[in-house]
Amino acid sequence: MRPTGRPHLGNYMGALYNWVHLQQDYDCYFFIADLHALTTDYADTHLLKENIKEVTLDFLATGLDPGRCVIFQQSQVMQHAQLFALFSMITPLSWLERVPSYKDQQEQLREKDLATYGFLGYPLLQAADILLYKPDFVPVGADQVAHVELTREVARRFNQFYGPHSKTAEKHILEAVSDKEKMAALEDDPQAFAAILPEPKALLTPSPKVPGLDGRKMSKSYNNTIMLSDPEPDVRAKLKTMVTDPARIRRTDPGNPDVCPVFDLHKIFSSEETQRKAAHGCRTASIGCIECKSWVADAIVARIAPIQERRRDLESRPSVIDDVLANGRDRASKRAQQTLDEVQQAMGLA
């Protein structure tokens, strides 16, 4: 997660909420991606240090447990930058230029000069972030699958060049380089390229599209957010302004919850019983939108209040952050160095 300020409900449901569950079943590594923050926000870094602290607090307050997973700050584990540099030697420029987000983000963030080497290379930094830990899975939303695919391609290329069977493999590559069928057959043959860097799979985590107050996707850039840190009165006041079924003009008009963004929030946060009650009350006009919104506010407040409580407790013990990040740095570095040693040896650098 990039340290770019406090998360809103959309960020929370898209990432942290899932991660807290994943740590029960997998050995997980979660990091604060400060190097990635520099790929777009390099010109002004005065908030970076504070934001790193804030994200770490959010990790812990939402339930990531340093006893169950590894939490660290990316730039403190130098192996990320080292593997990124090595990968940059072998990665064709065209692979990076065709990543959809490269052009999209340049369009969207016109106020920033993103014609930089670091911005073009950030999917490769992600590949290094991932492959250092040789994971089976990378938990992502559907919009990030292309980046995991690039990571798989980088791993494949590395293994082809430097895997234990690379002498044989090199010969096959030279023969097959313009022959896609042969190439595919080789990739299916586990003996052809022994993998120093196993190809990870995308683990598609459900990330419900959380609507913002104006009905569009919740996003800081639309100024339509409910923040994880918003106090209860703010949550309730914000929800009162949220758009509803536009056809329900008067209290006596029946509404249609299927087209109402408030009901989308019910689907994410409210119990099934409340959802049934709200849908029925809306369709029969037996409840008003104010009442319906107050129920969704109850559900959201119930979800975020314990997180805010934990956050306040953590804020009163500032050394916890330093301890968690130092411990995470040591554990991540140890694991990452094993991979880097293998990579360097395979490349003839050891």
Residue 159 or 275: the one with the smaller Cβ distance to ligand SF4 is 275
Tokens of 3: 């340290």
Q: Measure the CA–CA gap between 23 and 309, rounded to whole angstroms.
A: 21
Is residue 244 at the binding interface for ligand SF4, with CB under 6 A as the rule? yes
Size of the site for ligand SF4 (CB under 6 A): 14
Least distance (Å) between residue 297 CB and ligand SF4: 11
Q: How far is CA 160 from CA 123, 190, 214, in A?
A: 20, 12, 50
Residue 54 or 264: the one with the smaller Cβ distance to ligand SF4 is 264
Least distance (Å) between residue 288 CB and ligand SF4: 7
Is residue 278 at the binding interface for ligand SF4, with CB under 6 A as the rule? yes
Tokens of 182: 């042969």
DSSP annotation of 177: T
The dihedral over CA atoms of 63, 68, 73, 79, expressed in degrees to the nearest 10, equals -160
Taking each helix axis from N to C end, the angle separating 319-347 and 48-62, rounded to the nearest 10 degrees, works out to: 100
Least distance (Å) between residue 285 CB and ligand SF4: 8
Least distance (Å) between residue 256 CB and ligand SF4: 7
By CB under 6 A, name the one of 15, 83, 260, 300 that touches ligand SF4. 260
- Element (H or E) spanning 30, and its range? strand 28-32
Residue 262 or 346: the one with the smaller Cβ distance to ligand SF4 is 262
Structural contact between residues 210 and 268, judged by C-beta atoms closer than 8 angstroms: yes
Residue 24 or 241: the one with the smaller Cβ distance to ligand SF4 is 241
Contact set with ligand SF4 (CB under 6 A): 244-245, 248, 255, 257, 260, 262-263, 278, 282, 287, 289, 292-293
